[in-house]
Structure 1
Amino acid sequence: MKSLKLCTLLYLIPMSAMAAQECSQNMTKSAPNARYEFNNNGTIKDRITGLTWMRCPLGKTWDSTEDTCLGDGQDMFWQAALYDVQSINQNPSHALHNFAGIKNWRMPNIKELVTLSEHSCFAPALNKKAFSNAFPYSTNQENYGAGDIRSRCLSN
Structure 2
Amino acid sequence: MRVIKSSQKINIIVFNIILFSNVSLGDCIEPTSVAIPSSIQVDNFIINNDGTITNKITKSTWMRCLVGQTLIENVCVGEPAYYSWSDAITLTRAFSFADYSDWRLPSISELGSLHEVQCRTSFNATLFPFDDTYLWSSTSAVNNGGAGQTDQAWSYLSGRTFTNTKRQNLALLLVRDE
What's the TM-score once normalised by structure 2's chain length? 0.60
Q: How many residues align?
A: 118
Structure (1 or 2) with the greater strand fraction = 2
| 2:124 counterpart residue number | 127
Q: Aligned to 1:38, which of 26, 30, 47?
A: 47
Output the amino acid matched with 2:75: T
- Bigger RCO of structures 1 and 2 (CA < 8 A, at least 6 apart): 1
Secondary structure, counterpart of 2:127 in structure 1:
coil
> Structure 1 residues 27 and 19 mapped into 2: Cα distance closer, same or farther (>3 Å)?
closer
Identity, % of aligned positions: 29
- Aligned partners of 2:37 and 2:118 also within 8 Å: yes
2:98 aligned counterpart, secondary structure? helix
The one-letter code sitting in structure 2 at the alignment partner of 1:42 is G
- Contact in 1 for aligned 2:92/2:104 (Cα 8 Å): yes
Q: Structure 2: any 5+ residue segments left out of the alignment?
A: 1-23, 134-155, 159-169
Deviations 1:23-73 (A, max 9, x none): 26312111132121000100000122211000011110122xx11111100
What residue in structure 2 maps to residue 54 of structure 1?
A: 63
**Aligned residue runs from structure 1 range 3-152, under 5 A:** 18-23=24-29, 25-63=34-72, 66-88=73-95, 97=96, 99-122=97-120, 124-132=121-129, 134-136=130-132, 147=157, 150-152=171-173
- Flag as ranges the 4+ runs of structure 1 deviating above 4 A: none
1:69 alignment partner, SS class: strand
Show structure 1 runs of 5+ residues with no match: 1-17, 89-96, 138-145
Instruction: Please identify the structure whose Cα radius of gyration is greater.
Output: 2
2:66/2:173 contact within 8 Å kept: yes
Superposed CA RMSD in Å reads: 2.1
